[in-house]
Amino acid sequence: MSRFLLACGVAAVLASGCSKKRVAECDEFVKTAEKLATCDKLPAGSRSSVAAAAKQIKDMLQMVDDAGGFDSAPKETLDEMRQACKSQNTRVVSEMQKTFPDCLK
């Protein structure tokens, strides 16, 4: 589970570019984290850690939105964010499918 939390932390930093110009891959990563945070099959401590990570990501996205967004960000930057969110989400889903598959339903 600590690898999952590390992944959330890294993704939170990388996903901070997902703003008014929505990046679907970052939105999907947040959705996955929120789903895991409400799964009663995960231990309570893990759920609260995942919930905190999801909140951190959402708060960062909101801060970027409040600051005017990344609508003028270079395409390369958006592509990097897209790839980072996608790879983190894929990694988390893969790990959870092995350990807590019911949490992804």
Q: Which of 74, 87, 91, 100 is nearest to 14 (CA)?
A: 87
pLDDT of residue 93: 92
pLDDT of residue 72: 64
pLDDT tens per residue, range 1-20: 544 544 444 444 444 444 45
pLDDT of residue 73: 64
Alpha helices in 15-104 (DSSP H): 24-37, 44-66, 75-99
